[in-house]
A and B are shown apart, each in its own frame.
Chain A
Amino acid sequence: MSGHGVSPSEMPGLPFRRPLRAAAADNLLAGRGAAPGAPAGHQALARVLATAGNAGSEQELADEAAYMAIFVLARSQARGRSRARAVLTAAVAVGALAIGGATAVALMLGDPRDGSPQPRNSVQFGVPAFPRARADRDAPAQPSQRAAQARACPAPSRRPPDGHGTHAPVRALQGHAQRLHKPKSRPPTSGLSKAVKPT
């Protein structure tokens, strides 16, 4: 059989050639050309392949300037991207350090809501002192203590200074301190709750 799909005996008029052997095909593909004495078709094929695989022509290399521009542009974009990436990385690192540092400081100081000891200054200005513990509140306050509390927590005066207004804030604070230190009366229990209360 030949490349035409018929055998030489079937159609003797056709130009049948020797088949292309694997070794000859490898030589052609490697650019070594056809062997001497090879059929004309193989010689022609070797010439065609050599022509197709020869060095680049001027026409093919005419766009060198355009490709160099592509190279320069792509490299500059890559440099810009890497610079932007470096700046972004640095910003993220600084942010992470700041957040981490703040978290570490907060952990070291403790949470103010959970009652853990906090090394902070408890000096307060212009506001009443914290209510004392229940045991202290139950005990009647001495007059000297009331006066001391009144002196410790002076409230700003809203009135212009005059003869009577000078001690008005002190009096108001004394009344406030009395209300704070007065023992609280327990709510009266109703008769129904007495009846339900187990013995």
Chain B
Amino acid sequence: MLEREFPGVLAAAAHGDETAFARLWRDAHPPLLRYLRVVSGDGADDVASETWLEIVRGLSRFRGGELEFRGWMFTVARRRAADQRRYAGRHPARLTGDDQELDRPAGDDTAAAALDSLSTRAALELIATLPPYQAEVITLRVFAGLPVEHVARITGTRPGTVRVAAHRGLRTLAARLSAAGCESDVTR
């Protein structure tokens, strides 16, 4: 997060400064992309570009601090992701020529893969195995660094609901990782 530098960077980007926008983008894009990988899966890159397009268009009208900016950005991303899901629901057929996509590990292997390789992608896939709302809440809390109240506002729920969902999600992940660690110990 840019913290103290954020107001100046945002103002410069709003006036068309490309360097300032690059700084803003470098800071905010990775958590946005990870959130969308959990929420939207394969369509994350498309949804991210649509989200940034909307952000750029409304940048000069935005007023607020860094947390508010992130809240706005993830709200836009959440809506675009919902649009993408609706579109995918209407067009279910999808062809792929990507061999890596066909060789991707199944959902059962994600906990072991996350422990073994400990890559960002494996960690995201492990979180994506949670129920959608729990996964979304954990990504918004951990990746975006948003407090409970902001997450509740973005998801349209109460702060208590966010706390419960995050706690349940973490508990489920801990249990899966524990089981995966024990199985690894046994198989080794």
Partner-B contacts on A (CB < 8 A)? 2-4, 15, 17, 19-20, 22, 25, 28-29, 31, 39-42, 44-45, 47-49, 51-57, 60-61, 63-64, 66-68, 70-72, 74-75, 78
Contacts and interface: CB of A to CB of B under 8 A. Distances in A.
Interface of B: 16, 18, 21-22, 25-26, 29-31, 33-34, 45, 49, 52-53, 56-57, 60, 114-115, 118-120, 123-124, 126-127, 138-139, 141-143, 145, 163, 166-167, 170-179, 181-182
A19 B178 contact: no
B170 A60 contact: no
Contact of A57 (B120, B145, B181): B120
A14 to B, nearest CB: 9
B123 A17 contact: no
A25 B29 contact: no
Contact of A40 (B57, B176, B178): B178
A48 to B, nearest CB: 5
Contact of A3 (B56, B126, B172): B172
**Mostly helix, strand, loop or mixed at chain A's interface?**
helix
Nearest to A22: B167
A78 to B, nearest CB: 7
Nearest to B138: A29
A170 B181 CA distance: 126
Nearest to B163: A22
Given A45-B177, A70-B52, A71-B21, A52 B143 contact: yes
Contacts of A78: 57, 60
A41 B120 contact: no
Contacts of A54: 120
A20 B174 contact: yes
Contact of B30 (A15, A47, A56, A72): A56
Nearest to A76: B16
A41 B33 CA distance: 27
A48 B177 contact: yes
B22 A68 contact: yes
A51 B53 contact: no
B178 A29 contact: no
A51 B123 contact: yes
Given A51-B120, A68-B21, A3 B30 contact: no
Given A29-B141, A29-B166, A51-B118, A45 B53 contact: no
A55 B30 contact: yes
B21 to A, nearest CB: 5
Given A74-B53, A75-B56, A3 B123 contact: no
B174 to A, nearest CB: 4
Contacts of B18: 68, 71-72
A29 B170 CA distance: 9
A56 B29 contact: yes
A106 B60 CA distance: 45
Nearest to A57: B120
B168 to A, nearest CB: 9
Nearest to A82: B60
Contact of A44 (B52, B143, B178): B178
